[in-house]
Amino acid sequence: MTMLPPPSTKKLGLVIDLDICVGCHACAVACKEWNDGGQFGPLPDENPYGREPLGVWFNRVHTYEVEPEENNKPAMTVHFPRSCLHCETPDCVTVCPTGASYKRAEDGIVLVDEDKCIGCKLCSWACPYGAREYSEVRGTMQKCTLCVDRIYNETLDEYDRQPACVMACPTRARHFGDLGDPQSKVSKLVAERGGYDLMPEMGYKPVNKYLPPRPRRDGCAAPTATMQEENVDFSTASPLLRWIDKVLSR
Amino acid sequence: MHPALSVIFFTVISGTGYGLLFLLGAVLAFEPRLLSGNAAIVWLVLGATFAAAGLLSSLLHLGQPQRAWRAFSQWRSSWLSREGVSATLSFVPMLALAWLEWRGVDAQPLRAWAVLLATFAVLTVACTAKIYATLKTIPAWHNAYVLPGYLLLGLLGGAAWMWILHIVDASPVVATPILLAVLAVASAVFKYFYWRHIDAMPPAATAESATGLGRFGAVGGVEAPHTEENYLTREMGFVLARKHAARLRAIALVLIGVLPTLLALLACMTQTRMLEALCATIAVISVTLGLFVERWLFFAEARHVVMLYYAAKADTTQHA
């Protein structure tokens, strides 16, 4: 059914910390590995060992440079993982002609039923975030499942019941939880760090939130006058250093 | 957007087919006795063939065409599903009219089915247009021009073929060349304003809002997530057409506007049947080619906001 369910109280999603992501792509690789063998897999590649491999990944990590308007400030490099945001009002669900694309009423996860999908690609056109990738090999659309086959899997240890990308992140830049519960750890993190929505003007109300990079301290990256060796001033240094400077300057 | 040939063929040919069927419905609704039974059946078969050929071609675009029947289920939310339902239902008045014309039945039921046929023809093309017009992610499609544009160009294609029907004595409507000239001028003017609109459009989003990093400054790509193409860059990142867009637009305007108008006027001035037949044939070729160019541009020129994530620094202002 591609009508959206009434808003759920439980809104499972991810919080991604752009301040500490180092762009290592471990999340993307762990995601590909789990989901290739998971309930919604496989994720076949075309021409995997050839010249131009092409295949479905649910997670893509971009790297951007942000140039501040003030000229004297250094540019900032930001690594930016991009995946499905499990939006509250996504058009990718409502445009689906078959009912293959759906949003779960109980926890808000957006999924594709691979047995119903006809591969018309319209849902991928409706998504501004590029969360859906079509598989030529399977003839169907594929997307992030929020590892629904892990997070409810009682055969796994409780600690392991998290999405593969969250488990794999070496810097803990990814957090998983219920963003519909204001008391949850992820909701508190979002409130504390000013977590935000991507492209809010599209009106899709993403559940996933991004935490902004913390502001860089001015001057710690740009070379300044005092850092030039010929300008080092020994008059304020300790007597020992002043003596060494005097001896060596002879 | 990647201009898939199956979708271009589908929208042009089924649009023309439904244009033709709408005109047939309109003629029969106003004057059921104007057409002979055989003439009406020839007209119906031509329209139905175009509509069906277009619909079958749209199946080629699917990854799992054998599941296409599932697309009838989600008409409550999806314009693509509504299009499938409406297109299928449109064959009911077609069959009913064919049967009535064949049996030579009374004017009254004929009139009712003709109205129904015209209605479903409009509905089906409107659904096709709405599929595109409802996509907020593609500003060139998400505007008020797209729906009337599809209806107008479908009617133009239909009118060009109606002239051919007139030549082969399947249509007694003598004013067809005039109708074609009016529609050709209207279509060209409409497309001109559509292109002017999309050229002046403000961007739907920016690299800054897409990443949320605008508060820190101007955002530009340093490294893409993948070294090769992926589905997104192939499907949404089509850039080939833009280099020749201005020339292709001019070609489309000549083929759908200028040439058919001149041919229609020429035909009106002469009384030679041969010359009129020649004019009608060139007009239908010109309109069809023009519609293909126009539809190719409709896809190839449309930018998808997702490409903002892939935008290099120098490119950010041009995208979406």
Q: Is the predicted ipTM greater than 0.85, yes or no?
A: yes
Write out residues 154-183 of A within 8 Å (CB-CB) of B: none
**Which structural domain, as residue segments, surrounds residue B122?**
1-134
Cα(B163)–Cα(B172) distance, integer angstroms: 10
Does residue B314 register a pLDDT over 50?
A: no
Cα(A25)–Cα(B225) distance, integer angstroms: 9
In chain B, % of residues over pLDDT 70: 97
3-class secondary structure per residue, chain A: CCCCCCCCCCCEEEEEECCCCCCCCHHHHHHHHHHHHCCCCCCCEECCCCCCCEECCCCEEEEEEEECCCCCCCCEEEEEEECCCCCCCCHHHHCCCCCCEEECCCCCCEEECCCCCCCCCHHHHHCCCCCEEEECCCCEEEECCCCHHHHCCCCCCHHHCCCHHHHHCCCCCEEEEECCCCCCHHHHHHHHHCCECCCHHHCCCCCCEEECCCCCCCCCCCCCHHHCHHHCCCCCCCHHHHHHHHHHHC
Angle between helices B176-200 and B146-167 (to 10 degrees): 160
Each residue's pLDDT tens digit, B135-152: 999 999 999 999 999 999
Cα(A79)–Cα(A77) distance, integer angstroms: 7
Of the residues B62, B75, B79, B216, the best mutation for testing chain A's interface (the one with the most A CB atoms within 10 Å of its CB) is B216
Chain A: closest CA distance from residue B174 (Å):
42
Position B189, amino acid: V
Sign of torsion over alpha carbons A84, A90, A96, A101: positive
Higher pLDDT, B316 or A166: A166
Cα(B53)–Cα(B40) distance, integer angstroms: 20
Asked if residues A179 and A195 have their Cβ atoms less than 8 Å apart, the reply is: no
Tell whether B75 and B203 lie within a shared domain. Answer: no
Give pLDDT, residue B169: 79
Q: HSE of B127 in the Cβ direction (CA atoms, 13 Å)?
A: 24
Calculated CA dihedral for residues B140, B145, B147, B149, nearest 10 degrees: -100
Tell whether B186 and B120 lie within a shared domain. Answer: no
Tokens linked to B1: 């957007």
Q: Domain extents for chain A?
A: 12-211
Higher pLDDT, B276 or A221: B276
pTM to 2 decimal places: 0.90
Asked if residues B295 and B194 have their Cβ atoms less than 8 Å apart, the reply is: no
Chain B residue with Cα closest to A94: B77
Contact B217 A66 (CB under 8 A): yes
Cα(A123)–Cα(A101) distance, integer angstroms: 8
What is the average pLDDT score of chain B? 92
* A82 and B CB contact within 8 Å: yes
Give pLDDT, residue A218: 65
Higher pLDDT, B118 or B244: B118
Does residue B316 register a pLDDT over 50?
A: no
Contact A130 B65 (CB under 8 A): no
Using alpha carbons, select from A85, A25, A13 the residue that is nearest to residue A60. Answer: A25
Contact A62 B79 (CB under 8 A): no
Give pLDDT, residue B270: 83
Calculated CA dihedral for residues A226, A228, A233, A238, nearest 10 degrees: 90
Contact A122 B211 (CB under 8 A): no
Q: Is residue B194 part of a domain?
A: yes
Asked if residues B11 and B295 have their Cβ atoms less than 8 Å apart, the reply is: yes
Using alpha carbons, select from B64, B213, B295 the residue that is nearest to residue A76. Answer: B213
Higher pLDDT, A121 or B31: A121
Q: Is residue B151 part of a domain?
A: no
Tell whether B128 and B239 lie within a shared domain. Answer: no
Question: Which CATH number applies to A12-211: 3.30.70.20, 3.30.43.10, 3.20.20.70, 3.40.50.720?
Answer: 3.30.70.20
Q: Is residue B25 part of a domain?
A: yes
Tell whether B208 and B306 lie within a shared domain. Answer: yes
The residue among B118, B134, B150 that closes a domain is B134
Tell whether B226 and B128 lie within a shared domain. Answer: no
Does residue B312 register a pLDDT over 70?
A: no
Q: Which residues of B touch A92 (CB under 8 A)?
A: none
Q: Is residue B258 part of a domain?
A: yes
Structural domains counted in chain B: 2
Tell whether B179 and B316 lie within a shared domain. Answer: yes
Each residue's pLDDT tens digit, B72-131: 999 999 999 999 999 999 999 999 999 998 888 777 889 999 999 999 999 999 999 999
The residue among B134, B158, B191 that closes a domain is B134
Q: HSE of A110 in the Cβ direction (CA atoms, 13 Å)?
A: 32
Which pLDDT band, with edges at 50, 70 and 90, does B317 fall under? very low
Does residue B283 register a pLDDT over 60?
A: yes
Using alpha carbons, select from A66, A51, A128, A156 the residue that is nearest to residue B204. Answer: A128
Using alpha carbons, select from B251, B228, B264 the residue that is nearest to residue B297. Answer: B251
Q: Which residues of B touch A91 (CB under 8 A)?
A: 134-137
Give pLDDT, residue B34: 84
Residues of chain A with pLDDT under 50: none
Tell whether B216 and B282 lie within a shared domain. Answer: yes
Asked if residues B138 and B129 have their Cβ atoms less than 8 Å apart, the reply is: no
Q: Which residues of A touch B77 (CB under 8 A)?
A: 2-4, 93-96
Residue of A57, A64, A67 lying closest to B211 (CB–CB): A64
Q: Which residue shows structure tokens 């989003």?
A: B205
Give pLDDT, residue B33: 82
Tell whether B182 and B316 lie within a shared domain. Answer: yes
Chain B residue with Cα closest to A99: B74
Tell whether B185 and B320 lie within a shared domain. Answer: yes
- In sequence order, the 6+-apart residues with CB closer than 8 A to the CB of A9 are A180, A181
Residue of B64, B131, B310 lying closest to A139 (CB–CB): B64
* A45 and B CB contact within 8 Å: no
Give pLDDT, residue B318: 42
Chain A residue with Cα closest to B231: A133
Of the residues A102, A103, A121, A143, the best mutation for testing chain B's interface (the one with the most B CB atoms within 10 Å of its CB) is A121
* A104 and B CB contact within 8 Å: no
End-to-end CA distance of chain A: 86
Contact B225 A61 (CB under 8 A): yes
Position A143, amino acid: K
Position B88, amino acid: T
Give pLDDT, residue A38: 84
Chain B: closest CA distance from residue A166 (Å):
18
What is the rounded average pLDDT of the residues B60-75?
Answer: 93
Cα(B192)–Cα(A210) distance, integer angstroms: 42
Contact B210 A198 (CB under 8 A): yes
Buried b (16+ CB within 10 A) or exposed e, B66-86: ebbebbebbbebbbbbbbbbb
Tell whether B194 and B278 lie within a shared domain. Answer: yes
